[in-house]
Amino acid sequence: MITLSGIIGSGKSSLTGILARELGTQAFFEPVEDNPVLPLFYKGNEIAAKKRAVGDKEATNPYAYLLQTYFLNRRFKMIKEAMQDDNNILDRSIYEDELFMKMNTEMGNATEVEYQIYKSLLNNMMEELPYAAKKKSPDLMITIKVSYETMIKRITKRGRKYELIENDPSLINYYKRLLKYYDDWMNSYTVSPLLILNGDQYDFVGNMADRVKVLEVIENKLLLLKKIPDSKIEKLKEKHHILFK
């Protein structure tokens, strides 16, 4: 089982689909378009930032805790389903979930009480996960690391209005903070082997040569971890050669 991680616009969902087709396995995508809370959260961030700007130091985002518990519930359900079989790929995992709630608390968007309740809920879920699933942890975590410039370019291309910095300038600070929190998370992650990909260097969506390179890096890592047989690797690399030609 492979899990993907990375900031907004890093290409998690795109790489999840590419890997699923490459390895002949099922992809699990976190729903975004039908999320009723996400637009409210972004609007709440804007409202809280404006209140703090005029001196209301206690202003919080009323939707921060709601959004994170909504995501936590979905991610727990998704990883339980994915861990029932041996070969699946998730475009987002429960393992990075806490960093969002931690950041929102430290930014003042959520209260310390909300954060502690959230952590208690998360810890209870993680204790239950080994009993509810076939695996205790992913076989590989892949993180796509991108710069602020690359993230903004991809967010703009995607075109979700509530994610655009031109519609909400407070998102500039939010996104830059989130990049720092992801760096800290990558340095502290120990649940499974971690592979960090340079999302600035490789355009695995639009450039076939870059895609082949990224796939080979991932497959070599899986081979090293003894999660994929030598014979399958050779067949995959032969396919890469044909595609690249």
Answer for the pair 195, 217: CB distance below 8 angstroms, yes or no: yes
Q: How many whole angstroms separate alpha carbon 197 and alpha carbon 59? A: 37
Q: Is 6 annotated as contributing to ligand binding?
A: yes
Spell out the domain ranges in the chain.
2-201
Q: Is 30 annotated as contributing to ligand binding?
A: yes
Whole-number pLDDT of residue 12: 93
Residue 245 binned pLDDT confidence (cut-offs 50, 70, 90): very low
Q: How many whole angstroms separate alpha carbon 242 and alpha carbon 137? A: 35
pLDDT digits (tens, 9 = 90+) for 3-19: 999 999 899 999 999 99
Q: What is the pTM of this model?
A: 0.86
Q: Is 235 annotated as contributing to ligand binding?
A: no
Q: Which of 56, 85, 86, 91 is catalytic?
A: 91
Residue 31 binned pLDDT confidence (cut-offs 50, 70, 90): confident
Of 7, 11, 3, residue with least CA distance to 158: 11
Options 3.30.465.10, 3.40.50.620, 3.40.50.300, 3.30.360.10; CATH for 2-201 is: 3.40.50.300
Q: Is 156 annotated as contributing to ligand binding?
A: yes
Count of H helices and E strands in the chain?
Answer: 9, 5
Q: Which of 130-144, 155-169, 171-185, 229-243 has the highest mean pLDDT?
A: 171-185
Q: Is 94 annotated as contributing to ligand binding?
A: no
pLDDT digits (tens, 9 = 90+) for 72-113: 999 999 998 888 877 899 999 899 999 999 999 998 889 999
Which DSSP string do the residues of 54-102 spell out, in sequence order? Answer: TT-TT---TTHHHHHHHHHHHHHHHHHHHTTSSSEEESS-GGGHHHHHH
Q: Is 12 annotated as contributing to ligand binding?
A: yes
Whole-number pLDDT of residue 242: 52
Instruction: Enter the tokens of residue 118.
Output: 């959230």
Average pLDDT score, the chain = 89
Whole-number pLDDT of residue 240: 62
Instruction: Enter the tokens of residue 33.
Output: 């378009």
| 203 labelled catalytic | no
